[in-house]
A = this chain, B = another copy of it.
Amino acid sequence: MEGGKFHRKTFDRIDPERRAMILRVAMTEFASKGFAATGINDLARKAGISIGSLYSYFASKEDLYLAVIDMGSDTLERELSEIDPSAGFFSCLEALVRKARHAADRYPELNQIYLDSTTQGLSALAARLSNRLEAVTAKLYRRLFAAGQASGELRPDIDPGYAAFCLDNLIVMLQFSYSSDYYRDRMRIMVGVGDGEEVDEDKLVSCVLAMARGAFGAFR
């Protein structure tokens, strides 16, 4: 874990495998139950450590939750750093959409925690996050739009901020649709697939790209 804004120094001193295990157990608990319903005693028991030890590593359940989200931000930052803006706007966008889709399979729990952290019940807590996750994403979009407008691939008259917001909304909901049971059901209802039928992922990706191309591309 990088940073360490949310844990106490004692946590840095323990065995790295033990550190990773504690964060993994916390991630699993928070993901399946949500912040409010997760019991810190139960969590310590599942991690095989005493509640005293846990509080010597993290000042509160809130701090532990924020440490897990920070781990998620590290993951996102690492994944996004693989996108190369020089590859062209729509090619990067396709890579981004496919990455989001796969992230839902690779890190379902981080996605579930992210969704949980956006609810109004946790708004006080969210204020402590300093929005690192969103800032990292926004920065990538800025670069992609600047490169796309400079190369003439994108229309010169679009406002990159508004466009990035709408695009990312599509990507976030796609990710939720593959990591939360509720949104999975919703997707099936909206798309209109029957029992035993699967949603066609390529069609989804194409639809997102078509919307971006149609609105922002210099040529349709």
Tell me which residues across on chain B come within 8 A of A137, comparing CB atoms: 190
Q: How many copies does the complex hold?
A: 2
CB pair A180 B123 closer than 8 Å:
yes
Residue of B whose beta carbon sits closest to that of A210: B215
Q: How far is the CB of A178 from chain B (nearest CB, A)?
A: 12
CB pair B126 A119 closer than 8 Å:
no
Docked CA distance A126–B134 (Å) = 28
Which listed segment binds B: A10-18, A19-27, A157-165?
Answer: A157-165
User: Binding site of A, secondary structure by majority: helix, strand, loop or mixed?
Assistant: helix
CB pair A134 B190 closer than 8 Å:
yes
Which residue, A36, A112, A182, A193, has most C-beta atoms of chain B within 10 A? Answer: A182
* A76 lies within 8 A of chain B by Cβ: no
* A156 lies within 8 A of chain B by Cβ: no
Which one of B127, B203, B213 lies within 8 Å of A181 (CB-CB)? B127
CB pair B162 A119 closer than 8 Å:
no
Docked CA distance A127–B181 (Å) = 9
Q: How far is the CB of A147 from chain B (nearest CB, A)?
A: 16
Tell me which residues across on chain B come within 8 A of A35, comparing CB atoms: 36
* A204 lies within 8 A of chain B by Cβ: yes
* A87 lies within 8 A of chain B by Cβ: no
Which one of B141, B162, B189 lies within 8 Å of A203 (CB-CB)? B162
Docked CA distance A163–B207 (Å) = 7
Q: Which residues of A139-171 have CB atoms within 8 Å of chain B's CB atoms?
A: 141-142, 159-166, 168-170
Q: Which residues of A114-142 have CB atoms within 8 Å of chain B's CB atoms?
A: 115-123, 126-127, 131, 134-135, 137-138, 141-142
Docked CA distance A187–B160 (Å) = 13
Contact surface of A with B, Cβ cutoff 8 Å: 31-37, 112, 115-123, 126-127, 131, 134-135, 137-138, 141-142, 159-166, 168-170, 172-174, 176, 179-183, 185-187, 189-193, 200, 203-204, 207-208, 210-217, 220
